[in-house]
């Protein structure tokens, strides 16, 4: 498994302004994330993003060739740093693997409940319309996030804390996907579900089910 933690961002044209291009790119991406999540990708214009970021109407074009490249930058801005920090956390963890998995879920929950978590729903909603963006997300972030859960599972099996697992990569998907889907559900159907469990109840039930299935 590739352990390189660098994030390959979309190529961006360089500005000729005196201010370094990297200074404003993340600001524009963060403004775009908020608008894409709240309004939808198709309904958001680059001029809207520029206004929200407090920059001139044409400045986003100096950083991103088109709206699709901005979409990739939004994904990288939202997920890149949390994923790197989660990887470092797993690699340096010294406690039991069950505690590691619990703490990893706490970190994912904090991400999912933050404004950044809305990017998951955005990606799923637009995957069919922008396959290149979907491929970028899967190859750059989804596979690495899944590998993080697989690494945690292998750690538990190797230490005798988890039972032998026939297909760890498939099991990593089983562990990871309910978390992503819950993040989407919170921003779609949950507000209309009168019997929706609280987030505390969901994560407690999730951990109870997953850990009892994994324990040696």
Residue 215 CA to residue 1 CA, distance in Å, equals 25
Which of 104, 210, 209 is CA-nearest to residue 147? 104
DSSP-assigned states of every residue in 111-137: HHTSGGGHHHHHHHHHTTT-HHHHHHH
How many angstroms from the chain centroid is the CA of residue 200?
20
Read off the pLDDT band of 2 (50, 70, 90). very low
Burial class (CB in 10 A: 0-12, 13-18, 19+), 194: exposed
Distance separating alpha carbons of residues 103 and 198, to the nearest angstrom: 19
Q: What is the pLDDT of residues 24-70, one digit of tens each?
A: 888 899 899 989 988 888 889 999 999 999 999 889 988 998 899 99
Confidence of residue 5 (pLDDT cuts 50, 70, 90): very low
Question: What's this model's pTM, rounded to 2 decimal places?
Answer: 0.82
Comparing 36 with 18, the larger pLDDT belongs to 36
Reported as a single tens digit per residue, the pLDDT across 96-120 is 999 999 999 999 999 999 988 999 9
pLDDT at 3: 43
**Token digits of residue 100:** 């590691």
Q: How confident is the model at residue 20 (pLDDT cuts 50, 70, 90)?
A: very low
Residue 182 above 70 pLDDT? yes
Per the DSSP assignment, residues forming a β-bridge with 162 are 215
The predicted model gives 169-176 an average pLDDT of: 97
Q: For the chain, give every domain's residue range.
A: 76-214
pLDDT of residue 24: 84
Section 4-21 average pLDDT: 41
- Cα–Cα distances (Å) from 9 to 3, 31, 77, 78, in that order, read 17, 17, 9, 12
> Residues in the chain, how many?
216
CATH number of the domain located at residue range(s) 76-214 in this protein:
1.10.357.10
Residue 174 has pLDDT above 60, yes or no: yes
Q: Quick one: pLDDT at residue 116?
A: 87
| Separation CA 55–CA 169 (nearest Å) | 44
pLDDT digits (tens, 9 = 90+) for 73-85: 999 989 999 999 9
How far is residue 4 from each of residues 1, 70, 107, 127, measured CA to CA in Å?
9, 24, 21, 26
- 71: exposed, middle or buried (C-beta count within 10 Å: 0-12, 13-18, 19+)? buried
Confidence check: pLDDT of 10 > 80? no
Q: Which two tokens stand for residue 71?
A: 């979409």
The residue-averaged pLDDT of 178-206 equals 95
């Amino acid at each position: 498994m590739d352990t390189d933690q660098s994030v390959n961002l979309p190529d961006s044209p360089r500005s000729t302004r005196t201010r370094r291009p990297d200074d404003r790119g993340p600001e524009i991406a963060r403004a775009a994330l908020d608008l894409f999540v709240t309004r939808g990708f198709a309904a958001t214009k680059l001029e809207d993003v520029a206004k929200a970021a407090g920059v001139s109407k044409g400045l986003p074009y100096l950083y991103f060739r088109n709206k699709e490249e901005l979409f990739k930058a939004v994904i990288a801005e939202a997920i890149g740093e949390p994923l790197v920090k989660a990887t470092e956390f797993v690699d340096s963890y010294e406690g039991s693997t069950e505690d590691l998995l619990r703490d990893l879920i706490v970190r994912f929950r904090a991400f999912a409940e933050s404004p950044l978590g809305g990017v998951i729903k955005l990606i799923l909603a637009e995957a069919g319309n922008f396959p290149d963006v979907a491929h970028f997300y899967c190859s750059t972030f989804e596979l690495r996030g899944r590998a993080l859960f697989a690494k945690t599972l292998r750690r538990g099996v190797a230490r005798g804390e988890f039972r032998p697992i026939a297909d760890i990569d498939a099991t990593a998907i089983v562990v990871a996907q309910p978390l992503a889907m819950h993040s989407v559900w919170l921003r779609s159907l949950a507000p209309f579900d009168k019997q929706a469990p609280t987030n505390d109840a969901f994560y407690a039930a999730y951990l109870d089910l997953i850990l009892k299935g994994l324990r040696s």
